[in-house]
């Protein structure tokens, strides 16, 4: 087992703080953890730029229940349930962090519960 490095800790804190801000619907607070030119990739689409991503989050107001968080340098992986209103889905998110800001992340999940409604 390896000890957690400073980069692991910094990246993990940034991602967890971002998710906590989203849960509080503190979108200004969440923006502090996103690089302006960040990129998001998801099952249902992608977004370029922090402003575009946060505009969607303000509209959707998802709630995140983190089950596990892993860090490896500037990479962070979260396993969590996302309450999307119509359904709660188990998801995995892979986040890239540079200088304390999320620069890219990808979320994967099985979309069938959303498509069946």
In a domain? residue 1: no
Distances (CA, A) of 82 to 1, 3, 106: 30, 30, 14
Model confidence at 74: pLDDT above 90:
yes
Query: Tens of pLDDT along 10-61?
Result: 999 999 999 999 999 999 999 999 999 999 999 989 999 999 999 999 999 9
Model pLDDT, residue 116: 81
Domain count, the chain: 1
Please give the model's pTM, rounded to 2 decimal places: 0.91
Model confidence at 1: pLDDT above 60:
no
In a domain? residue 70: yes
**Cα 45 from chain centroid?**
14
Model pLDDT, residue 96: 98
In a domain? residue 59: yes
Query: Tens of pLDDT along 17-29?
Result: 999 999 999 999 9
In a domain? residue 55: yes
CATH number at residue 29: 3.10.450.50
In a domain? residue 96: yes
> In which domain, by residue range, is 98 found?
6-115
In a domain? residue 60: yes
Model confidence at 102: pLDDT above 60:
yes
């Amino acid at each position: 087992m390896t000890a957690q490095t400073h980069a692991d800790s910094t990246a993990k804190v940034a991602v967890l703080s971002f998710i906590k801000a989203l849960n509080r619907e503190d979108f200004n607070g969440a923006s502090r953890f996103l690089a302006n030119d960040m990129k998001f990739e998801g099952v249902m689409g992608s977004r370029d730029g922090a402003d575009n991503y946060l505009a969607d989050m303000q509209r959707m107001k998802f709630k995140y229940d983190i089950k596990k968080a892993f860090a490896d340098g500037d990479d962070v992986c979260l396993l969590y349930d996302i309450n999307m209103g119509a359904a709660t889905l188990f998801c995995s998110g892979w986040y890239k962090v540079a200088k304390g800001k999320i620069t890219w992340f990808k979320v994967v999940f099985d979309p069938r519960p959303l498509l069946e409604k």
